[in-house]
Amino acid sequence: MCGRLSQYRGIHDFVAALSMPNALANSVGDQAIERYNVAPTTQVALLHMQGELLHADPVRWGWRPHWAKDRAAPINARVEKVAHGPFFRAIWPHRAITPIDNWFEWVDEGGQKKQPYLIRRRDGAPILCAAIGQLPDADEGPGEHDGFVIITADSAGGMVDIHDRRPVVLTPDLAREWLNPATPMERAEQMVLHQGESAEVFEWFRVSKVIGNVKNVGPEVVVPLEQ
């Protein structure tokens, strides 16, 4: 996963995809997010639970433990290691969903620059990515060390031609279980290891190379190139 995504629906559209009846504590806003070219280190709308209340908060994409100050903050965590490695141990219990419209990958097709591809669900529904992080506290508010990473797995099927890694995407039922603080950590690990959505759920197509410039933030970056 190369590190660009889109969030252009409103947060209520993403919450509706979860089919969660819970009241929502929303600090993202009620309007359409309209961010088509979201880059790492920026604030991304994230869904997480505190008690029985669902929260929608803007959280920085990227996190590292306090003892790893000599390295860049990762934006992704490999599903094979995330539950047991020391790096993410502090945030493994703090689960979230990153709801997105699509993400982007770059493919070497022999030109001077790699060709960007957009990946989205075939059915047009929001993509519910499993994530973990140091998350805003409802009582204390956002903290300077808050951040999150998206959990990734090996690609399969035709998607491996686009990139060898992809987000772990959960169905709404599994996403609700992932968010539930009562879900045991062992169960959460099995969900992301074995129950992510398959490659057949997604479609991908070439888009303009303007996506490579973070200053290009409009809807033109998600328009398919003419074949």
pLDDT digits (tens, 9 = 90+) for 41-52: 999 999 999 988
Q: Is residue 14 part of a domain?
A: yes
- From CA 25, how far away is CA 53, in angstroms rounded? 7
110: Cβ contacts below 8 Å, ≥ 6 apart: none
Model confidence pTM above 0.85: yes
Count of other CB atoms within 10 angstroms of residue 123: 8
Tokens of 10: 């409103």
Give me the domain span that covers residue 47.
4-222
- pLDDT value for 226: 76
Q: Is residue 157 part of a domain?
A: yes
- From CA 138, how far away is CA 21, in angstroms rounded? 19
DSSP-derived secondary structure letter, 176: H
- pLDDT value for 143: 87
DSSP-derived secondary structure letter, 172: H
User: Active-site residue among 2, 200, 203, 226?
Assistant: 2
Task: Give the 3-state secondary structure of residue 13.
Answer: helix
Q: Is residue 227 part of a domain?
A: no
Is the pLDDT reported for residue 73 higher than 60? yes
pLDDT digits (tens, 9 = 90+) for 139-182: 888 888 999 999 999 866 545 456 568 899 999 999 999 999 99
Tokens of 13: 């559209």
Specify whether 129 is catalytic: no
- pLDDT value for 89: 95
pLDDT more than 90, % of the chain: 79
CATH number at 167 reads: 3.90.1680.10
* Beta-sheet strands, E only, within 39-186: 43-50, 53-60, 76-78, 95-100, 102-107, 115-121, 127-134, 147-154, 165-167
Task: Give the 3-state secondary structure of residue 186.
Answer: helix
Q: Is residue 77 part of a domain?
A: yes
Specify whether 105 is catalytic: yes
Phi, psi of 125 (to 5 degrees): -75, 160
Q: Is residue 202 part of a domain?
A: yes
Helix axes 185-194, 172-179, angle to 10 degrees: 150
Q: Which residue, chain included where needed, has tokens 């190139």? A: 225
End-to-end CA distance of the chain: 24
- From CA 166, how far away is CA 123, in angstroms rounded? 18
User: Active-site residue among 34, 52, 80, 105?
Assistant: 105
Gyration radius of the chain's alpha carbons: 17
pLDDT digits (tens, 9 = 90+) for 81-116: 999 999 999 999 999 999 999 999 998 888 789 999
pLDDT-wise least confident of 32-36, 147-151, 162-166, 216-220: 162-166
CA 129 from centroid of its chain's CA atoms:
4
- pLDDT value for 162: 60
pLDDT digits (tens, 9 = 90+) for 196-213: 999 899 999 999 999 999
Angstrom distances, CA of residue 96 to CA of 33, 93, 175, 178 = 18, 10, 9, 8
Count of domains in the chain?
Answer: 1
